[in-house]
């Protein structure tokens, strides 16, 4: 490295060079620049991954700040959340961002998942990218479930109770699963310990690991193009570098989404219901969060008995199979060379999406 003279001193360049000698900065930028983003009329869906990453960041940052004041005990949780909302400077903002952020994060993940599915981005060689993405959706939903209980207000407690009871109805493993999650026969301090440690240690680690795999696979394999674009002659296809070109667009969209998000967070700050009385009756019409409503509504449609089986067991197997199929159908269509399967995957996706949407809306009414 040459010693800069006063004449040719460029501070930024000098710092970059100094860093580059110690950390492969330029190589990292070059690696990021290798990935190209196709430019076409469906490009808008490519922003969803970035928006999801933004909300993941918001969740980690606000969750970390909430832990400064949150008390993870059955007796003290409610009072600590109340203090966060009403005494800690800007505590309401951090909590409102975290609670709204959880919902928006899951919504964006769903949009990302469905858009990826319908653009057939799961096809070879991207099967693991798809599966890791599905895993991230699953983890985010468990995040939502475990986090929902932590404020220990009335709704949180009873919705969690209903959720655990439903899981307990799964055939064979259900009772053991419910017992394990609760840490006993009733929701109590042990349940809170388990939910809290899952929420702040196990799930973040799992999410970071899986997200790392997901992002690395995308970087290595590039971003897929829809079939309609692949069919175009090469000369008619347009691409831009992910870094820095698409990344700048990503940043623009992040700012826009963040402002819209803050509007909701500020104008409708996340509230806190009355403190739970575990001995009291559950409020009438208690429902899980919106992202579990489709399953919840589907469960209600099954009769008590189907032939020799308990209706609820059949329902759990059915719901599990339907959601599990999201991992299987794309794999069957991974080559995209069998027209029947390809068409089936599309039709199946449409039916799944309409069914999911219908049951979610129905469940919310």
Partner 1 sequence: MFPVWEVPNIGSGWVIGLIAVLHVFISHFAIGGGAFLAFTEQLAYKKNDDRIYDYLKKHSKFFLLLTTVLGAMSGVGIWWAIGLASPNGTQTLLQNFSLFWAVEYVFFALELATFLAYYYTWDKLDRKTHLKLAWIYIGISYFTLFAINGILTFMLNSGGWDFTKGNIGDAFFNSSFWPALGLRMFIMMALAGIYAFFTLSREKTMDVDVKAYLLKYSAKWLLPAVILGPLFVIAYLFTLPEPTQQVIINGLSTIGVGNFSIMAKAIFMTLVFAVGLFGMVLAGPYLNPRAFNTSFAVMLLAAGFGFMFTEEWSREMMRKPYVVYNYMYSNGLRKFEIDKVNKDGFFNHHKFAGAELTTLKPNDELGKGQLMFRYQCTSCHTAKGNGYRSMKVMLATRDKDAIKNLLTMMKDNHIVDDKGVAKTMYHGYMPPVVGHQDEIDALATYLATLNSDPAKSTTAKVESSNS
Question: Which residues contribute to the site for partner 1 (CB under 8 A)?
Answer: 44, 85-93, 240, 244-245, 248-249, 251-252, 255-256, 258-259, 262-263, 266-267, 269
CB of 262 to partner 1, least distance (A): 5
Euclidean distance between CA atoms 132 and 330, whole angstroms: 13
CB of 239 to partner 1, least distance (A): 12
Q: Which is nearer to partner 1, 225 or 250 (CB)?
A: 250
CB of 266 to partner 1, least distance (A): 5
CB of 65 to partner 1, least distance (A): 14
Q: Which is nearer to partner 1, 187 or 265 (CB)?
A: 265
Euclidean distance between CA atoms 262 and 119, whole angstroms: 31
Q: Which is nearer to partner 1, 183 or 269 (CB)?
A: 269
Q: How far is CA 350 from CA 150, 242, 313, 365, in A?
A: 36, 30, 26, 23
How far is it between the farthest Cα atoms of the chain?
89
CB 272 within 8 A of CB 86: no
- The pairing of strands 305-306 and 309-310 is antiparallel
CB of 259 to partner 1, least distance (A): 4
CB of 39 to partner 1, least distance (A): 9
Q: Which is nearer to partner 1, 247 or 352 (CB)?
A: 247
Euclidean distance between CA atoms 109 and 94, whole angstroms: 21
Euclidean distance between CA atoms 154 and 170, whole angstroms: 25
For residue 40, the SS3 value is coil
Q: Which is nearer to partner 1, 61 or 262 (CB)?
A: 262
* Structure-block tokens of residue 327: 């991992």
Nearest to 315, CA basis, from 294, 338, 298, 297:
298
- For 136, counting Cβ atoms within 10 Å of its Cβ (0-12 exposed, 13-18 middle, 19+ buried), the class is buried
Q: Which is nearer to partner 1, 174 or 269 (CB)?
A: 269
Q: Which is nearer to partner 1, 43 or 275 (CB)?
A: 43
CB of 44 to partner 1, least distance (A): 8
- CB neighbours (10 Å) of residue 356? 18
């Amino acid at each position: 490295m040459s010693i800069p003279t006063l004449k040719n001193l460029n501070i930024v360049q000098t710092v970059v060079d100094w860093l580059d000698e110690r950390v492969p900065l330029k190589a990292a930028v070059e690696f990021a620049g290798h990935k190209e983003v196709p430019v076409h009329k469906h490009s808008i869906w490519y922003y969803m991954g970035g928006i999801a990453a933004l909300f993941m960041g918001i969740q980690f940052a606000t969750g970390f700040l909430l832990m400064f004041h949150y008390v993870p005990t059955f007796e003290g949780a409610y009072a600590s959340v109340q203090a966060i909302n009403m005494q800690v400077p800007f505590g309401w903002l951090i909590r409102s961002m975290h609670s709204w952020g959880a919902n928006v994060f899951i919504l964006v993940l769903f949009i990302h998942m469905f858009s990826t599915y319908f653009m057939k981005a799961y096809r070879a060689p991207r099967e693991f990218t798809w599966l890791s993405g599905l895993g991230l959706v699953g983890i985010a939903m468990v995040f939502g479930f475990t986090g929902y209980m932590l404020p220990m207000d009335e709704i949180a407690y009873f919705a969690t109770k209903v959720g655990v009871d439903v899981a307990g109805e799964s055939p064979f493993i259900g009772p053991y699963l419910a017992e394990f999650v609760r840490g006993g026969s009733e929701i109590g301090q042990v349940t809170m310990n388990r939910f809290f440690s899952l929420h702040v240690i196990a799930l973040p680690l799992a999410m970071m690991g899986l997200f790392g795999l997901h992002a690395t696979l995308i970087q290595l394999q590039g971003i897929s193009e829809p079939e309609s674009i692949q069919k175009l002659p090469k000369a008619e296809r347009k691409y831009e570098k992910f870094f820095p070109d698409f990344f700048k667009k990503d940043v623009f969209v992040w700012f826009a989404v963040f402002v819209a998000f803050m509007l909701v967070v500020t104008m409708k700050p996340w509230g806190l219901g009355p403190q739970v009385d575990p001995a009291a009756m559950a409020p009438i019409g208690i429902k899980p969060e919106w992202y579990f409503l489709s399953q919840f509504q589907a469960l209600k449609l099954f009769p008590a008995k189907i032939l020799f089986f308990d209706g609820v067991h059949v329902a759990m197997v059915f719901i599990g199979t339907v959601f599990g199929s999201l991992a299987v159908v794309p794999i069957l269509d991974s080559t995209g060379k069998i027209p029947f399967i390809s068409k089936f995957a599309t039709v199946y996706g449409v039916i799944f999406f309409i069914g999911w949407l219908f049951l979610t809306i129905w469940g919310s009414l």
